[in-house]
Amino acid sequence: MKKMLLLSIVSTISLYAAQTSCPQFYLDGEAPDILNKNMVQKTRELCYEAFGVMHSGITKTPLWSAEILLRENLEKKIPRKDVFHEESRLPRNERSELSDFVRSGYDRGHLTPSADAPTPSAQAETFTLANIVHQDHVLNAGVWSSIESATRYLAKKEGRLHVITGALFMGNRVKAIGNNVLVPSMIYKVIYSPKQQKAAVYVVDNAPSKNYKVISVSDLEKYAGIDFFPKMSETQKAEILDLPVPQEKH
Amino acid sequence: MKKNTDLTIKPFQNETECITIGDFTIENRLLHVSFFGSLDITKDKKGLENALILKGVLDSIVEDMERQELPDMIDQNYDQKTVPNPFIKTI
């Protein structure tokens, strides 16, 4: 918890209140505001067919990837082949390359998972490295995969969910791999149900663990340095949407 | 929906290829091929199709590995460095 405190001392003035270029992926068309001024540097928004990414040229990773999950888009998909690829829309010195993952000991972890994407072309786009972070293998293949599947299960029940999946860089020092691509310390998934008008967050350490936590948006904001829903009241952010227990199969 | 016909990989030749069968994933890497998730091979035509995809991938891996001299165990010590967290305020 000591690590979290360090980032909690961020300014509460919104420094990134610029209009989003991908409003279609956010609640009321409002993207999260970055409150930490160090985090605003070299950020670029990238819009795709089914998700929007806020990318950092400092960490050379996505900060988050946002999508709207609709029940009707979550039918079983046929087997397919995809190709991990570098994001040519990002400057070379701000992006990760495939070579940054070789011999890294880490998986290429999707923020917006390919199984959420509604069409083959949208699925293919999730393999851009702008949507990928260095993720622990045990986590990626284990509880994180179950969290992704629990989220789809909830979307089928609720009909529609707003989802923001992101990476947090905590503590005084962070791991760097390849050509200085930073490794997230934690990964989170913010989920908002318009039907219940409540949100909650799954949070995991980027480590070989089966543990996860469910917290409120308000608690996540305390150490993320991001205002996830600029128009939402503090009371609403403090409520916790009932999230399913992650299981291998839902 | 059009079928994706090429469901094969060139094992250990690239870091790009990824095959997805439901919740099951196969990822090609230079030093390993990763299989993760879960898949039921159902006793029907679809199950056979899935089994054949897996068999094709495994056959290509075995064929590639049998053609070369392999170490007893691959070196799994990865370089890891740390840098100051750029998001921490430095006042």
Identity of the residue numbered A246 = P
Pull the structure tokens for residue A117. Answer: 């994407």
Q: Flag whether residue B89 sits within 8 Å of chain A, measured between CB atoms.
A: yes
Q: Which CATH superfamily is domain A23-238 in?
A: Extracellular Endonuclease, subunit A (3.40.570.10)
User: In the predicted model, is pLDDT for residue A10 greater than 70?
Assistant: no
Q: Which one of A3, A8, A84 would you mutate to disrupt binding with B, by most B Cβ within 10 Å of its Cβ? A: A84
The predicted pLDDT at position A18 comes to 63
Q: Which ipTM was obtained for this model?
A: 0.91
Q: How far is CA A126 from the centre of its chain?
A: 12
pLDDT of residue B77: 75
What is the band of A211 on the pLDDT scale with cuts at 50, 70, 90?
Answer: very high
pLDDT of residue A201: 98
**Which amino acid would we find at residue A81?**
K
Q: How far apart are CA A14 and CA A226, in angstroms?
A: 9
Question: How much is the pLDDT for B79?
Answer: 74
Instruction: Say yes or no for a CB contact (<8 Å) between B89 and A9.
Output: yes
Q: Is the pLDDT at B2 greater than 90, yes or no? A: no
Closest Cα partner for A123 from B50, B4, B46, B11? B4
pLDDT tens digits for range B41-78: 999 999 999 999 999 999 999 999 999 999 999 887 78
For residue A181, give the 3-state DSSP assignment. strand
Give per-residue pLDDT as tens, A35-59.
999 999 999 999 999 999 999 999 9
Contact A141 B31 (CB under 8 A): no
pLDDT band at A5 (very low <50, low <70, confident <90, very high): very low
Chain B residues 43-72 with CB within 8 Å of chain A: 49-50, 53
Does A2 reach chain B within 8 Å, measured CB to CB?
Answer: no
Q: Which of A93, A70, A84 is nearest to A123 (CA)?
A: A84
Q: State the pTM of this model.
A: 0.92
Nearest to A122 by CA among A175, A74, A60: A74
User: What's chain A's Rg over C-alpha atoms?
Assistant: 17
Chain A: give the shortest CA distance to residue B59, in Å: 17
Task: Decide if pLDDT at B1 tops 70.
Answer: no
User: Is the predicted pLDDT of residue A2 greater than 50, yes or no?
Assistant: no
Tokens 């590639």 belong to which residue? B64
**Contacts with B80 from chain A: Cβ below 8 Å:** 105, 175, 177
* DSSP helix/strand/coil, B60: helix
- CB-neighbour burial class of residue A164 (10 A; exposed 0-12, middle 13-18, buried 19+): buried
